[in-house]
Structure 1
């Protein structure tokens, strides 16, 4: 029998935070998840839902506030799903994220003795996003734009987002104000009516160049010239306006067709002395300042002398590969997304790095073939998606046995799982360095260094 009932009101003590930022309190061992509550606090709650093993509750009042509690500066923090922990001081966020990584390494990876260092954070943890994906819609007869509310596709209407660039704010508010006047109807997901679905704003930190991507339901876009005029008036630094067509009834943002409406096809950025051309759909790290920290850490763990051959699995547009190529004898990058490989080749040429080879395909198939061709790696770098490394790729690593593996992760749970597999296969995890790529959110990246046991 559950020790709490729906609609019950209780005073509870918060013990922990979940990976998505909810406070955790236990009543006779039964966990309750409370949005907005922080560890160490005594809080009054209203029980909303009880399941077999856990329940959810609403925070009514904080009795004893955590020393890390702060007033969230964002006007839509309570409804927007973009940030989960603005109410936690940045010092508190660093403590939480280190614990998140350490707990995963200990509990899932069964590696309690592996050092997990203090998180490398930002001096100014605001306005860091170089890419904003802004949905547009209609509500009560007026245009709304902002970000989706937590666990929904309802837009939290706002003119300001404190983690995106000021230019993105200006474009979000300005386009919203003028949209109907120009004669463009915002898209409605439920009815599949309207034209403008999203506006994506990309800014290159090093050059200041801005690209604006208009995602429309139809290719026909007679108001394009007026929209370009408005965008350039709002943000003169804009050098590229692109239309992406997505006619599908889906919540996926991008469609398959991309057309340059005005200006350049790409914008150029630079990280750590490496130049990158970024197109409308290029994968490129969101936080350029911390990307330099993250890739610098990967480079440190790779410990290159200039004589090594390196394989970069999940190489994307070659961001880590090109960092490595400046220090390695030869770098081979593999990525399943073919257009990203074309970007990687172009970026290698842009930087004059001829000691690289990029190939499209599944890493778990391409890498064994490289080994058969005599292309053996001293160091292997992986930077997989949130689901972690493909099981077959892990088997490939254990079969080919490079001396050193550098694992760049955006999910502590799958990192810990994969470390356990590599440990069981003869590798030893030397240390893990968390890096805060997404301040104000619960996401945390980490870099792990593994060495083949002799």
Structure 2
């Protein structure tokens, strides 16, 4: 038998390519099962807390290992059969094998653990995660790579941690109209032998397709992402889509000639119909282009923003600062009960869209400013602007400490933190605690059922 691997005289009790039996006693951040073999941590995708499993070790590091699930010996009562036939291979979902109530419990516990372990906060109320009545077919946007190699047309999500396209017929988390568009696009590619993009030599034409649908309007947009402006048989594609897709109002060619993993380029060509589709968040109307950021779960966005408005506790006389305002979606939502809302965003196009959205919705108590949030906040302080409530909705990496320090200098009575990552949220809540702010409560919202992702709205108050 091979000798066990050693790190600095420490014997690792597992070996790569060897089989083991273990018990799962926790869940990792990505929804994987976590357990120990001789007190050594092993992560196992597809395993659930309480299960006894047989695994094969596929990777070993100094502090932990990864195992491949071979057999479930003792099954959890939370285990269900995924409704998706390609679930085990596709990287679009990763917790579909867990019943939905247990998914929500997992997400609530994940937030609790992050707040306790990372934020070092132990008196924060974490409410049960708000789930969906129907946790399927919720995505209003999907972006899919395409391939036409070996005479097989493939459109689908990438396999986890790879660029291998898993061919799909139906996706149970995207809007059903996208399934029809995928089927029709495959037919078009095959009939006219459309050349698809290859990363290896930066050749080919068609890179991705994107489908967007307004959940409240029913309007559909189809986008073909191409490697250059040449697109053969585009007229035939337009004819096919307009004939078969109910609600179609926009067909766009997006040009992306860069060697990049970024899906969309900056140049759009309208092949048919309008440049945008229309959708609503609450009572507010938004024009959505191929490049627009718009929350992908329309139903839960209403829930998320309503909770942010509740936590802001506005009575009509407050001045609000939306520090990552994007195209102004949260700003407009808060404008309903605020005296004035300042929106800050470093991307100038987003600010232009925010101003347009405010005008379209006849909102006159917002002011949108282009610039770095820290600098804009400093300028507002110098101008004597007193802010009562600050809203932050940062990217996954969270907030810079200097930015949080800038917020604390404004001395708002309330901070509402909208987060898409419990780890960086917890870190930032720990920093805000040191800056004189108490975290009162956190409401997780399940924006992405069947995946491990979770969004949170947090109410934070200035210490007296």
1:212 matched to 2:222? The reply is: yes
1:105-137 per-residue CA deviation (whole Å, 9 max, x = no partner) reads: 010001111010000000000000000001101
TM-score computed with the length of structure 1 as normaliser? 0.98
Q: Where in structure 2 are the equivalents of 1:133-152 lying within 5 Å?
A: 133-152=143-162
- The alpha carbon displacement at 1:222 in A equals 4.1
- The alpha carbon displacement at 1:183 in A equals 4.3
1:24 matched to 2:43? The reply is: no
Q: Is the 8 A contact 2:206 2:227 kept in 1?
A: yes
Matching residue of 1:431: 441
* Separation in 2, partners of 1:182, 1:383: 45
Q: Is the 8 A contact 2:141 2:210 kept in 1?
A: yes
- The alpha carbon displacement at 1:66 in A equals 0.6
* Separation in 1, partners of 2:77, 2:126: 24
Q: Where in structure 2 are the equivalents of 1:115-264 lying within 5 Å?
A: 115-264=125-274
* 1:358 aligns with one of 358, 368, 380: 368
Q: Pick closer, same or farther for the CA change 1:135–1:87 going to 2, 3 Å.
A: same
Counterpart secondary structure, 2:125: coil
1:1-30 per-residue CA deviation (whole Å, 9 max, x = no partner) reads: 011112222110001111112111101221
Instruction: Give aligned pairs, total.
Output: 454
Matching residue of 1:94: 104
CA RMSD of aligned residues (A): 1.0
* Separation in 2, partners of 1:428, 1:25: 34
Counterpart secondary structure, 1:56: strand
* 2:91 aligns with one of 75, 78, 81: 81
* 2:396 aligns with one of 375, 386, 391: 386
* 1:281 aligns with one of 291, 294, 298: 291
- Structure 1 segments, 4+ long, off by >3 Å, are none
Matching residue of 1:449: 459
Q: Where in structure 2 are the equivalents of 1:233-382 lying within 5 Å?
A: 233-382=243-392
Consecutive unaligned residues in structure 2, runs of 5 or more: 1-10
Matching residue of 1:45: 55
Q: Is the 8 A contact 2:196 2:205 kept in 1?
A: yes
Q: Is the 8 A contact 1:50 1:56 kept in 2?
A: yes
Q: Is the 8 A contact 2:24 2:49 kept in 1?
A: yes
Matching residue of 1:67: 77
Q: Is the 8 A contact 1:245 1:254 kept in 2?
A: yes
* Separation in 2, partners of 1:31, 1:350: 54
Counterpart secondary structure, 1:161: coil
Q: Is the 8 A contact 2:188 2:237 kept in 1?
A: no
TM-score computed with the length of structure 2 as normaliser? 0.96
